[in-house]
Chains A and B, each alone.
Chain A
Amino acid sequence: MEIIIEILSGLHPEVDFETMDTLIDNKILDSFDIVSIVSDISDEFDITIPVEEIVPKNFNSAKALYAMVERLSEE
């Protein structure tokens, strides 16, 4: 979880990623941010994030991202 918060904070230092759960709904993350996040997460966790996982519910919060990473790591 810490790594994910670190990745997100690198893009938007002004946002509190511990609590924010509307990152997509409130248009805080744009498509360029998402590509950067996918690239960083793939590197850090050595997983492949398929394109069908790029949906708002997986990117709306750090928690949701972490849950996706955990699920993909188990598969």
Chain B
Amino acid sequence: MLFTSYRFILFILILFILYYIIPKKLQWMLLLLASYLFYSIAGLRYLIYIATTTLSTYLISLRLNQLQSEQSSFLKEQKDSLDREGKKAYKASMKLKQRRWLVLCLIINFGILAVLKYSAFTITNFNGVLNLLGTKPLPLIGFVLPLGISFYTFQTMGYLIDIYREKYPHERNIFKLALFISFFPQLIQGPISRFDDLKETLFSEHSIDGRNISFGLQRILWGFFKKLVIADRMLIAVNTIVRNPEEFQGVYVLVGMFFYAITLYSDFTGGIDITIGVAEVLGIRIRENFERPYFSKSIAEYWRRWHITLGTWFKEYLFYPISISKSMLELTKSSKRRVGDWLGRRVSIYIASIVVWLITGIWHGAAWNFVVWGLLNCFFILASQECNPLYERFHSRFHIRHTFAYRLFQVGRTFWLMSFLRAFDCYRDVGTTFQMYSTLVTRWNYSELFQGGLMQLGLTIADYIVLTAAVTLLLVVSLQGRSGSVREKLAARPFSLQYAAYTVLFIAILILGAYGVGYDASQFIYSQF
């Protein structure tokens, strides 16, 4: 069920009404029912996957908790009889037992994800090797990816790792855990929530709160505006360019990159606005996933502000566990001895970064273009980290670091660098992407653009006027957001002004949304990841 479909709007309207008229203690159960209903509409057979993830995580979290309780009782009982070494050895043996259960659960759940998402990619590449050896290729197996599997698997495994690390107590009620895993607004494209963040408001009782409802509906409206007025309209031009690489080269590649940057931002943040807005109406707080990423001054900063919950997940559950693992620290130590301190201390950071970015790449899709995209992001982050001393020298010599013009340059540089890298996502093919890069210098057709070129991209003059106005509004709202919540600022204005602003937004969505008879709003880009 698309967020932008009439069915979804009807679905949430009914849910909102039921949610506030039933006894409060039943609210979370209603959400569970609604989430499973939402999921089953996508396909009843997919329920088996989410149910397996829920059940395996629940049972293993129970086992982890049992082992942790056993350990603390034993240590309390043996407080005086065991020496420090004895306690250490006992703790290590208990940790090993817990780790085995954790690994089993990780294998089950990441295994499901890997088989469903990466089988075709793996077999295709394996067949490539078999072909070179002159052997008969293996038959291709393709699975339809269950809705939101990449998101809920990461969220659930994050929960289990937290239980293993004893960050917070496990959830005793399997149905509450099931709701945490399947909560429908965030099922399609995240954010990837943490259990301790979400549980307070997800399972608590909520009374009707005018502010929550009004703020939530505003956020939903803003999300629809970004998705329907900007993203879906601009996507037409992006698709025209990237699906016809023979025809649209040179300056069009540049236009495609620029348009895709706006499309992806409006699409993804629009979807997250709807998610957070729906949750807000229900009185549930979901963590923000973006912090004006296009105002970032470096790629590293961009990744701290774009899809924040995925970046945090990778940092907490992959980057640190790899980079500060015993074996990696040993490697760092020996590298420092062999190649010196400077290079030695970088070994673990480089290895962990490459692994993280490789996995970030294939998380986005089972294809080589995503692998290359991930590794290039890694390269630029590490390179810019290494160039920091150079930048520092440059800044101290020229004293321009805090000037507006230089900050603008940094923001523009980051925006374009990220847009260039995203071409791998647009063209979905490594060779074509490099070929299109090369046409930026070989096809010198820059004047064509304003001699009718823009009109060949599937958009009319009216579309360009709408897009210019809408993107300007988006930019103004983002700029305003730097000094605090825009909705709070608007709420402080007279009611008539607020009413007028939201009425205009609503009418704009109705009139200017990229739909019409026979038109079906596009699926959210991130829902396919």
Instruction: Point out residues on A near B: beta carbons under 8 Å.
Output: 27, 30-32, 34-36, 38-39, 42-43, 48-52, 54, 75
Residues of A with C-beta under 8 A to B315: 31
Residues of A with C-beta under 8 A to B316: 54
Query: Which of B319, B329, B385 is within 8 Å of A39, CB to CB?
Result: B329
Complex-state Cα separation, A23 to B324, whole angstroms: 19
Q: Mark B299-325, 1 if CB is under 8 A from A, else 0.
A: 010001000000000011001110110
Q: Is the CB of A38 within 8 A of B324?
A: yes
Complex-state Cα separation, A43 to B315, whole angstroms: 23
Q: Is the CB of A32 within 8 A of B329?
A: no
B167 to chain A, nearest CB (A): 7
Query: Which of A35, A52, A54 is within 8 Å of B348, CB to CB?
Result: A35
22 contacts between A and B (CB under 8 A): A27-B304, A30-B300, A31-B315, A31-B320, A32-B385, A34-B320, A35-B323, A35-B324, A38-B329, A39-B324, A39-B333, A42-B329, A43-B333, A48-B326, A49-B324, A50-B165, A51-B165, A51-B320, A52-B166, A52-B167, A54-B316, A54-B324
Complex-state Cα separation, A49 to B316, whole angstroms: 14
Interface: B349 (CB within 8 A)? yes
Complex-state Cα separation, A48 to B333, whole angstroms: 14
Q: Mark B263-278, 1 if CB is under 8 A from A, else 0.
A: 0000000000000000
Q: Is the CB of B165 within 8 A of A39?
A: no
Residues of A with C-beta under 8 A to B323: 35
Interface centre among B323, B326, B348, B385 (most CB of A within 10 A): B323
Q: Mark B348-370, 1 if CB is under 8 A from A, else 0.
A: 11001000000000000000000
Number of interface residues of B (CB under 8 A): 22
Interface: B332 (CB within 8 A)? yes
Given contacts A35-B352, A42-B329, contact A52 B345 (CB under 8 A): no
Residues of A with C-beta under 8 A to B300: 30
Complex-state Cα separation, A35 to B88, whole angstroms: 25
Residues of B with C-beta under 8 A to A36: 345, 349
Q: Is the CB of A39 within 8 A of B348?
A: yes
Complex-state Cα separation, A30 to B300, whole angstroms: 10
Residues of A with C-beta under 8 A to B345: 36, 39
Q: Is the CB of B165 within 8 A of A35?
A: no
Residues of B with C-beta under 8 A to A30: 300
Closest to A37 in B: B324
Task: With A39-B333, A39-B348 given, name 6 new contacts (CB 8 A).
Answer: A27-B304, A30-B300, A35-B320, A35-B348, A38-B329, A51-B165
Closest to B323 in A: A35
Residues of A with C-beta under 8 A to B304: 27
Given contacts A39-B329, A43-B333, contact A51 B348 (CB under 8 A): no
Interface centre among B166, B300, B345 (most CB of A within 10 A): B345
Closest to B317 in A: A51
Complex-state Cα separation, A54 to B352, whole angstroms: 16
Residues of B with C-beta under 8 A to A35: 320, 323-324, 348-349, 352
Complex-state Cα separation, A39 to B330, whole angstroms: 9
Given contacts A30-B300, A31-B319, contact A52 B324 (CB under 8 A): no
Complex-state Cα separation, A35 to B345, whole angstroms: 9
Residues of B with C-beta under 8 A to A32: 349, 385
B430 to chain A, nearest CB (A): 28
Closest to A11 in B: B345
Closest to B385 in A: A32
B500 to chain A, nearest CB (A): 39
Q: Is the CB of A51 within 8 A of B333?
A: no
Residues of B with C-beta under 8 A to A39: 324, 329, 332-333, 345, 348
Residues of A with C-beta under 8 A to B349: 32, 35-36
Residues of B with C-beta under 8 A to A51: 165, 320-321, 324
Closest to B166 in A: A52
Residues of B with C-beta under 8 A to A52: 165-167
Q: Is the CB of A54 within 8 A of B326?
A: no
Complex-state Cα separation, A35 to B165, whole angstroms: 19
